[in-house]
């Protein structure tokens, strides 16, 4: 709801309002509401994009989840060939295999469901509802309960695996990503991708949520200060330690510090699984080379070797657990090194040589991994190679790949996706586009880009890449008229501190971004019929008079600046939100489609809820006429906005 300051727009006549509505209606017919599909070819629809895999109980087969093709593929590891596939749809992500090996459970994110596949016939046996955006998945050793991390709901569901009924729901951190159960079936550990809600310009902090398997209650929330993007997680075989991968951002310092290695680093977290447990953070990076976007972590059966896939660097890192224990001075189930040393290790770029024993090149964009029962073969889902990589852990090298049947041709969109997910473009391979835009969305952080006025000024909130094809201009400053301008010299200068993409690369990555769709709206019914609260909110969004009967000027109505279908008029406005660190008063009108997915809000991310925009930061009614609204009305307005 961005007020228009241009006097030409401050029209108060009914005729003027009708003209505005006509303009908006005309725009609807010429604007795509989701993504630009004109770049898509028939080849693009045939890629597999394997994301996770698990081995059968006898170790003969690998079950591979392919998120793009919506398949579960069975690979015979003896013949190294796919032998069966089942279409599960719905953007599948993770899987779990029942203890007897008879069933494979798959989370499907877009349909908010778990699909049950019979491993014998490889046909769908059942499908049951999960929470919003079911992501990570684990099954307890009894085989009776599934633990589902619901990313969009910030909770963990415990589900009866036989009946498909919900047993309980547990609150986690923000965007729970992965879940794993301890070897003794006593505890479940959940990683959370985004930072907790923190005060403005404070170091981000997430958590590892630990749940008692038997009671379904949280036993600990281990804080991980300074860390975000917790993804893969595992337990050591003795059940004493949680191992998880993480990103350590320095988003409070200017981005020029990338030259000193201070923008972002990547680490293994060693977590004491108890309330108040300490966390050791050991960097994976070298002093002059980084291993961006760690995704998964697995531990050898004897507990001596740790494997971490770096999806932005196309390598698997190999760490020695013995060296890790020496570095952290682990005694039994405690980290005994002092707090000062723990803080130092979390930023020590010269320390990885103490515990990293190998870097194994593999396919493009390595994601989930699985070890065979002897620990001598590691299988890796190479997402953008459409293959399963095979690593001989004795030779410490990749000895082959198993093709999953995707096309060998690399289209422009596929090349753009590879560039988006690979860190080679940045100084010393420090970041990829996906680092700040995990899953093409936001990392929930604020940044000092050190541009347009210098250090400590113009702090900006991250913005999503989803559904932005027709929402130019870009950046909060509105200085980039096209995505190609955004991803060209400005990205090289301000974000990557490098030479940037070549012209072909800029075109490929721009077209890839423009092709990204919005996710399914979870707050709008399939038939688009609004709830009573949403209908009341819609009336407020379109209203022309306040609660007291005062006329609302056209320029101060929600609908004026956030007209459908994109819910942005693509103009710059002053809505009274300038802060002391801002050099400008005018900001780009953001699109509001799926706004519930992208907190924090405002140009500098100072609001953790939509309500705060109007209750705390709109004292003069410059950001829409809202000060007359009651609490119930604001609630209704927000419920309607969730339907965009």
Q: Residue 596 — pLDDT band, cuts 50, 70, 90?
A: very high
Q: Residue 492 — pLDDT band, cuts 50, 70, 90?
A: confident
Judge contact between 5 and 573, C-beta under 8 A: yes
Judge contact between 117 and 72, C-beta under 8 A: yes
Q: Is 306 exposed, middle or buried (0-12, 13-18, 19+ CB in 10 A)?
A: buried
Question: What's the rounded mean pLDDT across residues 601-614?
Answer: 95
Question: What's the rounded mean pLDDT across residues 32-48?
Answer: 86
Which distant-in-sequence residues (6+ apart) come within 8 Å of 114 by Cβ?
A: 105, 106, 107, 108, 127, 128, 130, 134, 137, 146, 148, 159, 164
Judge contact between 153 and 131, C-beta under 8 A: yes
CA distance 181 to 188: 4
Question: What pLDDT is recorded for position 510?
Answer: 96
Judge contact between 369 and 378, C-beta under 8 A: yes
Question: What pLDDT is recorded for position 448?
Answer: 87
- 334-357 pLDDT, tens digit per residue, is 999 999 999 999 999 999 999 999
Range list of β-strands (E), 182-292: 187-194, 205-212, 218-225, 233-235, 242-249, 264-271, 279-283
Q: Model-level pTM greater than 0.85?
A: yes
Asked if the model's pLDDT at residue 453 lies above 70, the reply is no
Which distant-in-sequence residues (6+ apart) come within 8 Å of 382 by Cβ?
A: 50, 362, 363, 364, 365, 366, 367, 388, 389, 401
Question: What pLDDT is recorded for position 28?
Answer: 37
- 233-268 pLDDT, tens digit per residue, is 999 999 999 999 999 999 988 877 777 667 899 999
Q: Residue 454 — pLDDT band, cuts 50, 70, 90?
A: low
Question: What pLDDT is recorded for position 410?
Answer: 97
Asked if the model's pLDDT at residue 174 lies above 70, the reply is yes
User: What tokens does 371 get?
Assistant: 């070890």
Q: Residue 486 — pLDDT band, cuts 50, 70, 90?
A: confident
CA distance 267 to 256: 22
Asked if the model's pLDDT at residue 13 lies above 80, the reply is no
Domains and CATH numbers, the chain: 7-30+530-641 (1.10.760.10), 44-58+147-413 (2.130.10.10)
Q: Residue 359 — pLDDT band, cuts 50, 70, 90?
A: very high
- 510-552 pLDDT, tens digit per residue, is 999 999 999 999 999 999 999 999 999 999 999 999 999 999 9
Average pLDDT, the chain: 92
Question: What pLDDT is recorded for position 26?
Answer: 35
Judge contact between 397 and 360, C-beta under 8 A: yes
Asked if the model's pLDDT at residue 428 lies above 80, the reply is yes
User: What tokens does 472 get?
Assistant: 């130019």
CB-based burial, 96-106: b 16+ in 10 Å, e otherwise: bbbeeeebbbb
Judge contact between 64 and 84, C-beta under 8 A: no
- 86-101 pLDDT, tens digit per residue, is 999 999 999 999 999 9
Judge contact between 634 and 644, C-beta under 8 A: no
Question: What pLDDT is recorded for position 8?
Answer: 34
SS3 134: strand
Asked if the model's pLDDT at residue 612 lies above 90, the reply is yes
User: What tokens does 429 get?
Assistant: 């391979």
DSSP structure class, residue 17: H
SS3 283: strand
Question: What pLDDT is recorded for position 17?
Answer: 36
- 360-386 pLDDT, tens digit per residue, is 999 999 999 999 999 999 999 999 999
Selection from 221, 167, 161 nearest residue 189 by Cα: 221
CA distance 322 to 303: 9
């Amino acid at each position: 709801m961005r007020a228009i300051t241009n006097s030409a727009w401050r029209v108060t006549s009914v005729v003027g309002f009708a003209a505005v509505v006509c303009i908006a209606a005309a725009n609807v017919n010429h604007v795509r509401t989701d993504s630009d599909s004109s770049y898509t070819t028939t080849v693009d629809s045939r890629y597999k994009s394997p994301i996770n895999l698990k081995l059968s109980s006898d170790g003969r087969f690998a079950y591979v989840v392919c998120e793009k093709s919506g398949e579960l593929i069975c690979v015979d590891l003896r013949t190294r060939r796919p032998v069966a596939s089942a279409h599960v749809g719905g953007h599948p992500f993770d899987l779990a295999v029942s203890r007897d090996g008879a069933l494979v459970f798959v989370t499907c994110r877009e349909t908010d469901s778990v699909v049950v596949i019979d491993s014998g016939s490889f046909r769908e046996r059942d499908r049951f509802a999960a929470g919003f955006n079911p992501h990570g998945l684990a099954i307890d050793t009894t085989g009776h309960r599934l633990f589902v991390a619901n990313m969009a709901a910030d909770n963990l569901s415990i589900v009866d695996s036989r009946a498909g009924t919900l047993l309980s729901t547990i609150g986690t951190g923000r965007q729970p990503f992965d879940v794993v159960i301890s070897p003794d079936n006593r505890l479940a550990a959940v990683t959370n991708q985004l930072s907790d809600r923190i005060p403005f310009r404070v170091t981000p902090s997430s958590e590892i949520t630990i749940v008692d398997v038997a009671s379904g209650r949280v036993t600990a929330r281990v804080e991980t200060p300074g860390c975000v993007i917790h993804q893969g997680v595992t337990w050591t075989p003795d059940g004493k330690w949680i191992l998880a991968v993480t990103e350590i951002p320095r988003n409070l310092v200017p981005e020029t510090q990338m030259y000193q290695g201070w923008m972002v680093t990547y680490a293994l977290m060693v977590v004491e699984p108890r309330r108040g447990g300490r966390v050791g953070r050991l960097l994976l990076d070298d002093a002059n080379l980084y291993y961006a976007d760690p995704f998964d972590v697995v531990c050898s059966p004897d507990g001596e070797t740790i494997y971490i896939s770096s999806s932005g660097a196309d390598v698997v890192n190999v760490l020695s657990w013995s060296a890790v224990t020496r570095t952290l001075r682990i005694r039994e189930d405690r980290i005994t090194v002092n707090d000062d040393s723990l803080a130092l290790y979390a930023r020590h770029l010269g320390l990885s040589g103490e515990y990293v024993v190998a870097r194994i090149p593999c396919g493009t964009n390595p994601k989930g991994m699985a070890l065979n029962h002897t620990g001598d073969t590691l299988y890796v889902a190479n997402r953008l190679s459409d293959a399963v990589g095979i690593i001989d852990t004795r030779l410490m090298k990749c000895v082959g790949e198993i093709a999953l049947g995707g096309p060998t041709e690399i289209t422009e969109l596929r090349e753009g996706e590879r560039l988006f997910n690979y860190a080679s473009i940045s100084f010393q391979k420090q970041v990829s586009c996906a680092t700040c835009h995990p899953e093409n969305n936001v990392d929930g952080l604020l940044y000092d880009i050190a541009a347009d006025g210098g250090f400590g000024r113009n702090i900006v909130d991250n913005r999503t890449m989803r559904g932005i094809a027709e929402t130019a201009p870009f950046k909060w400053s509105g200085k980039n008229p096209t995505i190609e301008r955004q991803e060209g010299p400005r990205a090289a200068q301000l974000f990557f501190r490098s030479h940037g993409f070549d012209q072909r690369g800029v075109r490929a990555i721009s077209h890839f971004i423009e092709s990204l769709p919005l996710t399914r709206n979870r707050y709008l019914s399939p038939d688009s019929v609004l709830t009573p609260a949403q209908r009341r909110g819609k009336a407020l969004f379109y209203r022309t008079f306040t609660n007291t009967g005062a006329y609302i000027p056209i320029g101060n109505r929600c609908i004026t600046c956030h007209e459908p279908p994109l819910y942005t008029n693509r103009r710059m406005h002053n809505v009274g939100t300038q802060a002391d660190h801002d050099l400008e008063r005018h900001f780009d009108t953001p699109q509001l489609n799926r706004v519930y997915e992208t907190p924090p809000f405002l140009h500098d991310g100072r609001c953790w809820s939509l309500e705060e925009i109007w209750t705390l930061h709109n004292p003069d009614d410059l950001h829409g006429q809202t000060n007359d609204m009651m609490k119930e009305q604001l609630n209704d307005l927000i419920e309607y906005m969730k339907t965009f």
